[in-house]
Each structure stands twice: as structure tokens, then as C-alpha cells.
Structure 1
């Protein structure tokens, strides 16, 4: 007997489940974000360089706290600043990149569980066109949006999750696309610690370069998306 594909399994989900899962997904995200902002222990951990530098234990605490912080859509610049302050440029960049990626992947799978069936059932052809673009060019789509200086990382995680894209291109694009902004935050944090003005200047330069590169990729992706349609029109008989 043939196994049903993903689209069939999603369409067979009960209406009650399709209604409750998005509510649970969004409710937990909102509640988690509010809770994360108001946990004194978490803020103390991110502010305490002594605690974060405490060997493997301190680094595991940073990864756990910063991953949760990023998973609920809170500004990763805060965690990146703390990483730079505690670990310096090299290790700090590695730590915040790992933590922010873990948080994004958690949001990706949470959205896939809670919102994919609802999006397919309620948004119809509008979602189908977006899903096709993301599924056909997952890496370039996510990389482009990650590099843009505007937008919400949380919304991008949710968008990737509800689409049909695979997780590995999402992870790769998230690591590369988030690296410039992570490095900017780490440089600012480590620059305050060592009083190195050039690091803050370099951080600002990296932010501008990443923004320009992101806009260039976005324009190229739009042109590529229009090419098949243009070719199809040109091939039609007059």
C-alpha cells in the first residue's frame, strides 16, 4: 500500500486540530516572549561575564539561555553583545551563531507542527505560490531575507516552517545570513570590553555591506523568478 504524501496527510488533519494548533503555537510564542523579557535570572546570566566564562558549564548556560531568547523572537543583538563581552570576537561569534541558529530551528519546527496545515487549508493559492518559491529556492530565499537589515527573524522562522522547504537549506542559509549581524553585535560587545574603537567601526561597515548584499540578492531572486514567465510568453505563437 502506498504511503500518503505530506500534502495528503496535512489535508487529512481534522478541522479542530487545524484550528487549535495555530492558536497554541502563537499563544506559546507570545507568552514565551513576555516571560523571557521578565525573567531576572536570564538577564543576570546574560549580563554576568563571570558566570558565562565558567568553563563548559558557563558556555552551556549561555547556549541554553541565548537559544531560548532567540527562539521567542527577542533581539539576538542582546545575546550577541553578551557573547562578545564574555568571550571575545572569535569564540563569541561562534557561540551566538550556534545559539541563534538553534533558536531559529526551534521556531521552524514549531511552526511546521502548528501552522503548516492551517496555512495550506486557509490561504489556498496565495500560500501555494509562496510555498513554491520557497521550496524551489530555499537557500537563496532565506539567505536573502536574513541579510536584509529589516524584518523579523521570528516571522522568517515561521514562514520557513509553514512552507514545504527542507530544514538543511534553512539551517545553512540561517547560519550564513545571520553571521554579519551576529558579528556586528559581538564586535560591539568585545569593543566595549577592550575599548577598541576600530571594532565598532568595522561592525557598522559589515552591517552596511550585508544590507547592500541582501538587497542585491533580493533583486536577483525576483529577476530569476520572472524569467520563466517571460520565456513562456516569448515562446507562445503569435
Structure 2
């Protein structure tokens, strides 16, 4: 059975979330604080983590950072703060998605299903045999799809799990515009909902790591009102 770690100190919300997830067929383990969450995650090895930001002691941001440093487990953060700073900070620390309280249980379950679906698809991809097509060179950029590694010239670039999947999709569909809705479905698994800010934060992260001048991107272009395009026409061959 798929294991979900729920990190939430509000007992009423604990009960409601656990009930709805168990109805959906998941096994749920609850932790009420950050330290317990980290200890539980190391032994349970959950398939996904639902993480509240406002926790006693170690807050959710620090828990997210530590979890991401040791695992690629999908992380959905919950926050009562409906401000952009906290949403963006959670995503930059490695969370895959977020929900702002109050939220509907139906949407929570749908987002968990989307995260797990992406995890399953990734596992299937990695189970395949590597081939020459698993490595793509675009000018100074080299992407190893099977190993999930990226280099710019001779320097390896460390990407978060969703950043890599986003880059991989754009690279495989290079030189054409990928609509924002298409990217959300392909990378996050959203069907009928999605937060464009989540996508924008990950695009920003890629530009910071891959562009010569992130403020004036030439590799990953924004097509206003539509989406994004990874452009290769101006790329020069690697000097390595």
C-alpha cells in the first residue's frame, strides 16, 4: 500500500486529512512536529509527504530542506499564509506543490494522486535500459535523461527533481512553444487545476542555474500569454 507521511500539528485537520486519504486507499502515518517527521521519514520511507509549514519547534521549511537533501520523495506543503513569499520559498526549498489553507479535501487527494502518478512514471522511465537517446547535447548543455544529470560545459549543474523533469520536457520538445497547461500536466500531473506560479518558480530556478544572464534569458524563453520555449538556434558548441 502507498505510504503517506502527514506532518500536521492541528489534530482536527489531522483527522480529516487522514480519513480522506485512507478512503482513497493510502496508508497514512502522522507526525505532529518537525523532528518527529524527520525521524519517521528516515524509517518509514514514505511515497509522499504532506507537510504543514507552521509546526512547533522545527518549522516546515527546515523539514522540507532536510528531506530534499536526502530524498526525492514528493512533498506537498500546506500553509495558512496566503502570501507569495511563503509559497515561493517552499518551492525553492524543494517542495513539489503547495496548498493554501483552507482547502478542499477533494483537491488535496487529487494533488497527492498527481504527485504519485508522476513518481510512478519516473520509476518506469528509470527502469528502462539506457541508450544513446538518453543523452542529449544542446550546445554547451548536456542532459543525461537516464541518470538525471545535467552539465553546462564541464560543470555539473544540480537540479531539484521537478526542475530536472521540466528541463527534460522542454529539451525533448525544443524549439517549439510548450503551453503552461501542457507543462503542468506533463511535469506535475495536473488534470484540471494548476498554479502557474509553481511553474514560474521552477522556470526561474532553471534560468538561475543554466542561463548566462538569468535576467535576460536566451535558453528558456517566455512566450507571453502562452508558455515557454527552450531555444537552441543561438547555442554554440561546447568548448570541452
TM-score, normalising length: structure 2: 0.32
Between structures 1 and 2, the one with greater strand share? 2
Structure that is richer in helix per residue:
1
Larger radius of gyration: 1
Q: TM-score, normalised by structure 1?
A: 0.32
Structure ranking higher on relative contact order (CA contacts 8 Å, 6+ apart): 1
